[in-house]
Amino acid sequence: MDFETIQSLVSTRIRVVRAEQGITQNEMCHILGISKKTLVEIEKGRKPANWPTIVAFVSLFKDSPTVQYTLGDRNPIECLQTYSRKTVFQEENYYDSLDEYWKPIIEHEGYSLQKHYIHNHYRVVDRSLNVYMRSTDYKETYEFLERIS
């Protein structure tokens, strides 16, 4: 997945989430900090939302089932973070109890390199699902797995 794909997916869901949440266009404009004209253009598919609007929308509506399904993750902010930064190392162990979107690729000495089956990014976890690293780069993720195991 790339920026344009995320931009397209999220842009087409803004109206759906607005309706799902019972929010008027004026309220959504206020929440996202955009003009009504911009919101109408996004909702009608005339133009995609820009990155700041996407980040605000996903952050503020991360609990929406539509946003979670669209970005294929219980925590959609992680999806944005991984694709914007390319590689994310967890400073502290981050426990992810929901691994339904992840497919193990390599298991090695208690660690697993996994691939997100929707977005095709990678992560390294231990048996308890503590996440140590996420990346869009397979080679970098594999090298990290080799270093820690």
Q: Kindly report the number of other CB atoms within 10 A of residue 70's CB atom.
A: 20
pLDDT for 52? 96
What distance in Å separates the CA atoms of residue 106 and residue 97, rounded to the nearest whole number?
19
pLDDT for 98? 56
> Across residues 13-25, what is the average pLDDT?
96
pLDDT for 106? 95
What distance in Å separates the CA atoms of residue 136 and residue 80, rounded to the nearest whole number?
11
Contact criterion met (CB below 8 Å) for 124 and 144? yes
Looking at the predicted structure, is the pLDDT value of residue 31 above 80?
yes
pLDDT for 119? 76
What distance in Å separates the CA atoms of residue 126 and residue 149, rounded to the nearest whole number?
10
Alpha carbon 148 to its chain's center: 25
Write out pLDDT tens, residues 33-77: 999 999 999 999 999 999 999 999 999 999 999 998 888 766 788
pLDDT for 91? 61
Write out pLDDT tens, residues 75-124: 788 888 888 888 887 665 565 555 677 899 999 999 999 998 877 889 99
Q: Is 142 exposed, middle or buried (0-12, 13-18, 19+ CB in 10 A)?
A: middle
